[in-house]
């Protein structure tokens, strides 16, 4: 097994540290999304961004990446809200409601 000695390896370039998002950047994101989604109440935008921010933290995203990832998640949720569709309409299927006494194995 090679120990790495004598093997020419390219130098590892250090990536520039990207600072974590500041409180004002989160506020700017909310304001921008409020303008971009005028049919969605501002309170829903703040909740969507807050939920997305919490999710990125819980998923273990590095702090510098949390703002961008949360924006993507919030935009997805706000697009669904603005369209007026519900989750049930995103996957429409006909389901016959069962009543008491129906045999689940019949049909």
| Total count of domains within the chain | 1
Assigned domain for 66 exists: yes
Of 53-57, 86-90, 99-103, the poorest mean pLDDT is in: 86-90
Q: Which one of 6-20, 25-39, 56-70, 76-90 scores highest in mean pLDDT?
A: 25-39
The domain containing residue 32 runs over which residues? 23-84
On whether residue 100 sits in a domain, the answer given is no
- Whether the per-residue pLDDT at 15 is higher than 50: the answer is no
Burial-class residue 52 by CB neighbours within 10 Å (0-12, 13-18, 19+): buried
pLDDT at 63 over 90: no
pLDDT value for 17? 54
Q: Residue 20 — very low, low, confident or very high, per pLDDT cuts 50/70/90? A: confident
Q: Does 63 map to a domain?
A: yes
Asked if residue 79 belongs to a domain, the reply is yes
């Amino acid at each position: 097994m090679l120990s790495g000695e004598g093997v020419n390896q390219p130098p590892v370039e250090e990536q520039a540290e990207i600072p974590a998002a500041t409180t004002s950047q989160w506020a700017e994101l909310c304001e921008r999304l409020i303008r971009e989604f005028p049919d969605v109440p501002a309170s829903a935008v703040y909740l969507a961004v807050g939920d997305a921010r919490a999710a990125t933290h819980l998923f273990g995203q590095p702090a510098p990446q949390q703002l961008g990832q949360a924006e993507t998640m919030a935009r997805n949720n706000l697009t669904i809200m603005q369209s007026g569709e519900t989750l049930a309409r995103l996957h429409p299927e006909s389901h016959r409601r069962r009543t008491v006494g129906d045999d689940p194995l019949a049909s």
